[in-house]
Amino acid sequence: MGPATRAGLPTLREGSTGQFVKLYQSALYFNGYDSSPFNGTYSSQVKYQVAEFQRFVKLIPPGTVDLRT
């Protein structure tokens, strides 16, 4: 991954909205973490599922999505 790609990736947190949130919701779902409805809103349910995924992959689970997650 190059520097331009890294610079273009947002940090997602509760309250974030948009296409990156939808993409991440889909990625969670395909990895067994149901964060529906797939509406592009980073809700408390999405935050919970992100934290569960982060615990599974041995990351510190702040519940936000950044480059490491």
pLDDT tens digits, one per residue of 5-55: 777 789 999 999 999 999 999 999 999 999 888 899 999 999 999 999 999
With b for 16 or more beta-carbon neighbours within 10 A and e for fewer, the 16-48 pattern comes to: beeebbeebbeebeeeebebeeeeebbbeebbe
Higher pLDDT, 27 or 67: 27
Q: What is the pLDDT of residue 29?
A: 94
Q: What is the pLDDT of residue 67?
A: 82
Q: What is the DSSP letter of 67?
A: S
Specify the 3-state DSSP secondary structure of 16: coil
Contact 65, 12 (CB under 8 A): yes
